[in-house]
Structure 1
Amino acid sequence: MTSADESPVRVGLFGLLGSGNVGNDGSLEAVLGYLRAEHPDAVVDALCGGPEEVTAGYGIPATRLHWYRGEYRTASRAGAIAAKGLGKLVDVVRTAAWARRHDVVIVPGTGVLETTLPLRPWGFPYSLFLLCATGRLFGTRVALVSVGAAAIGNRPTRALTRWSARLAAYRSYRDAMSRDAMRAMGVDTARDEVYTDLVFALPTPPTNEPPGPPGVVCVGVMDFHGSNDERARAEEIHRRYLDGTTRFVRALVEDGRPVRLLTGDELDRPVAEAILDAVDSPLVTAAETASLADLMKEMATADSVVATRYHNLVCALKVGTPTLALSYSAKSDTLMAEMGLGAYCHPARAVDTARLLEQFRELERRSAEVRRTLSERNLVVARRVQHQFAALTAALFPAADHARAHARQETP
């Protein structure tokens, strides 16, 4: 509780939130749940990609991350280029003013320190740098909480990312690989801790709906074009991924298996539609999933899951369904190994249908064993995420932490 002579803590949430990616929004939901449970008097708002969606979905005020509304559209005309350049200057003032109004700003999870997907340096890396720099300037504590990181080849992006991490008041990572990557980029990580992905803090939704047909396989698809360093091969990579995934789905259908296509971002819908058109079977359907809770409900009633997007994997593992990763980055391999399924990763860049089917059938043969393993590992990661929130309170809300400790001591 906040005493009468104290002002409530002003907390900002920052990131590409409300922009159509359910994994990003799941991380936001997890942190909001923590704040409402542990710091109910905090005044919370967001600076984010989709402010209308965040306000409607989570009930907090939100401001648009970029002044220029065409930020993520390619600028080819002189007017658009000039407007985008002006927007970068305006965003310096907007970000500084927003950061200054807060005591704490939390960047909730996601891969904010990586470029495993195509990313321009003057997009989100620049925005994150502005936040961390102005936070340091005005004494606002910026926390990068259970974030993902990876080695970055592009020099401007690497520099912006490195300085963002250095200027943040608090850093923690969702896996050891992320901390190692930041150390390799010249960030002092001696005091940084590794916990787990924030999405593991979300409640597992009850499955009250009747189960679907037996043998359902959920296949999570992605608009995958390779990493930031593979732009020259983007279309080739995408074509190979789509062709390989389509052949896999067709093979499942030939075995009589119902297939449920899942997405994790609005960008993924054309991929699901392309597979539906190519396979053209009543056994293949696409789910409407607007949240991670929707994804988990679909996955909980399936026999198994084959997925590409990182947070699709997190959801499948969290509900304990045997899972195979079509892995597009080391973070997926790391997550699968942590959950005891390191043998069930397949490269998204080079889908070999015969080998993928072999791995899939082995996974299904070991289904009972895999479910027991996931049940045990989920208990471990649940404890880790609670440790993350306790550490966050100690680092960013020391007065509240002290008050709670004192209250516990006073309780008879």
Structure 2
Amino acid sequence: MTQVRVGVFGLLGSGNLGNDGSLEAVLGYLRTEHPDAPVDALCGGPDVVTARYGIPATRLHWNRGEYRTASRAGALATKGLGKLVDVARTAAWVRRHDVVIVPGMGVLEATLPLRPWGFPYSLFLLCASGRLFGTKVALVSVGAAEIRVRPTRVLVRWAARLAAYRSYRDAQSRDAMRAMGVNTARDAVYPDLAFALPAPAATPNEGTVCVGVMDFHGGNDDRARAEEIHRRYLDGTTRFVRRLVEDGRRVRLLTGDDCDVTVVEAIIDAVDSPLVTAAETASLADLMKETASADTVVATRYHNLICALKSGTPTLALTYAAKSDALMERMGLGAYCHPAREVDADRLIEQFRDLEKHSAELRQTLAERNRAAAQHLTHQFNALTDALFPATGRTHAPRGNR
């Protein structure tokens, strides 16, 4: 029996804790079920991935300035050259593997600003190379949303079509890919991979509220109103935090990406109270510890919500996309959603007080839903073994929400 060579792919190690949490969940599965399989990564932050997870990693893009805005002729030419070089680099990396896993993440959506020649192009190169060289590419518990911008839509649709295995983190994602012309008849829906991570014991610190913030400027279709949306979000969230402080509550500000730090700093400066502090978090485990020690959580970024829900803490979501509403509904907290584009501090305080009023019963609901999510993800990993590791696969038929 030969070893199955496994690659993991994505914007990993780049400062987004949700992406890295999905990678951690997949690595846990591989190390438990396939410990002899050599694993390496093609990713955004190779040095971070190697240092944190102990696997070899290669930089996703040849051009180190890929995600910096280019205006000068030289920078534009370098970007164009990088796109051509990445065709060969990606193909060569894929060819060295039997299996490539894209762990979670919203790789098939554009709910945040996204250019077609950025990650959608990279994902297309991956899946096309996999089809060319017979490498199985698996999109595992990924997020998707229907995309209107034609170049992005085309790249994402073809990437999904060329993948050997697809599963989604919610039914809306599967429906979106079907609406964009992908045959999803054999695709499964499972919870987000972060629900496979261990959760810390709940240790509520009476009076503490975790508020997860985001450098939010709307989605891909909101570019013309991006600054207005950001200003309204920041103003509303700041007013809400100030109201909590006026009630004598301690507030811990959480982030989920490096870019969120500017929002934390703006809120701390505006409220100017020792009751408001910023949590230092380097992983989803750190975020879960913070949320587990709070009475309640109010959060925007998707994986901040997951961490709060996974830790069993009553949570109110500032939602910016259907994925957040779907997550809250699935976990039994669908009534506690508030639009991130239209943050109304007065209404948010009303919802927050109602959330705290029902805290005990919501904690019980979350405990039950978390057990079900963990069991469902066990089915997902069994299905992955059967689909990607046939020589070492199990004899059972994989189960799941087909």
TM-score (norm 2): 0.97
Given that 1:173 and 1:179 are in contact with CA atoms closer than 8 Å, whether structure 2 keeps it comes out as: yes
- One-letter amino acid of the counterpart of residue 145, structure 1: V
Per the alignment, residue 192 of structure 2 pairs with 197
Structure 2: gaps spanning 5 or more residues? 397-402
Tell me the CA shift for residue 212 of structure 1. 7.6
Distance in 1 (alpha carbons) for counterparts of 2:49 and 2:205: 35
- One-letter amino acid of the counterpart of residue 177, structure 2: M
Tell me the CA shift for residue 276 of structure 1. 0.2
Given that 2:201 and 2:292 are in contact with CA atoms closer than 8 Å, whether structure 1 keeps it comes out as: no
Given that 1:213 and 1:258 are in contact with CA atoms closer than 8 Å, whether structure 2 keeps it comes out as: no
Query: What are the Cα deviations for residues 327-363 of structure 1, in whole angstroms up to 9, with x where unaligned?
Result: 0101000000000000000000000111110000000
Distance in 1 (alpha carbons) for counterparts of 2:297 and 2:204: 14
Does 1:112 find its partner at 2:112? no
Tell me the CA shift for residue 206 of structure 1. 4.7
- One-letter amino acid of the counterpart of residue 301, structure 1: S
Instruction: Determine helix, strand or coil for the equivalent of 1:226.
Output: coil
Tell me the CA shift for residue 7 of structure 1. 2.4
Per the alignment, residue 65 of structure 1 pairs with 60
Given that 1:216 and 1:302 are in contact with CA atoms closer than 8 Å, whether structure 2 keeps it comes out as: yes
Q: Select the residue among 99, 106, 122 that pairs with 1:127.
A: 122
Per the alignment, residue 355 of structure 1 pairs with 347
Instruction: Determine helix, strand or coil for the equivalent of 2:370.
Output: helix
User: Which aligned runs of 4 or more in structure 1 are off by greater than 6 angstroms?
Assistant: none
Q: Select the residue among 43, 47, 51 that pairs with 1:52.
A: 47
Distance in 2 (alpha carbons) for counterparts of 1:338 and 1:212: 24
Distance in 2 (alpha carbons) for counterparts of 1:174 and 1:285: 32
Distance in 1 (alpha carbons) for counterparts of 2:391 and 2:188: 22
Given that 2:174 and 2:189 are in contact with CA atoms closer than 8 Å, whether structure 1 keeps it comes out as: yes
Does 1:253 find its partner at 2:248? no
Distance in 2 (alpha carbons) for counterparts of 1:310 and 1:341: 14
Per the alignment, residue 3 of structure 1 pairs with none
Per the alignment, residue 400 of structure 2 pairs with none
Structure 1: gaps spanning 5 or more residues? 1-5, 407-412
Aligned length in residues: 396
TM-score (norm 1): 0.95
- One-letter amino acid of the counterpart of residue 313, structure 2: T
Instruction: Determine helix, strand or coil for the equivalent of 2:380.
Output: helix
Given that 2:143 and 2:173 are in contact with CA atoms closer than 8 Å, whether structure 1 keeps it comes out as: yes
Per the alignment, residue 294 of structure 1 pairs with 286
Distance in 1 (alpha carbons) for counterparts of 2:165 and 2:178: 15
Q: Select the residue among 381, 387, 394 that pairs with 1:395.
A: 387
Residue identity over aligned pairs, in percent, reads 80
Tell me the CA shift for residue 214 of structure 1. 2.1
- One-letter amino acid of the counterpart of residue 352, structure 1: D
Distance in 2 (alpha carbons) for counterparts of 1:237 and 1:7: 54
Q: Select the residue among 364, 373, 377 that pairs with 1:381.
A: 373
Given that 2:205 and 2:295 are in contact with CA atoms closer than 8 Å, whether structure 1 keeps it comes out as: no
Given that 2:204 and 2:295 are in contact with CA atoms closer than 8 Å, whether structure 1 keeps it comes out as: no
**Superposed counterparts of 1:6-21, under 5 Å:** 6-21=1-16
Tell me the CA shift for residue 135 of structure 1. 0.5
Given that 1:172 and 1:193 are in contact with CA atoms closer than 8 Å, whether structure 2 keeps it comes out as: yes
Given that 1:220 and 1:312 are in contact with CA atoms closer than 8 Å, whether structure 2 keeps it comes out as: yes
Q: Select the residue among 192, 213, 217 that pairs with 2:209.
A: 217
Tell me the CA shift for residue 395 of structure 1. 0.5
Per the alignment, residue 22 of structure 2 pairs with 27
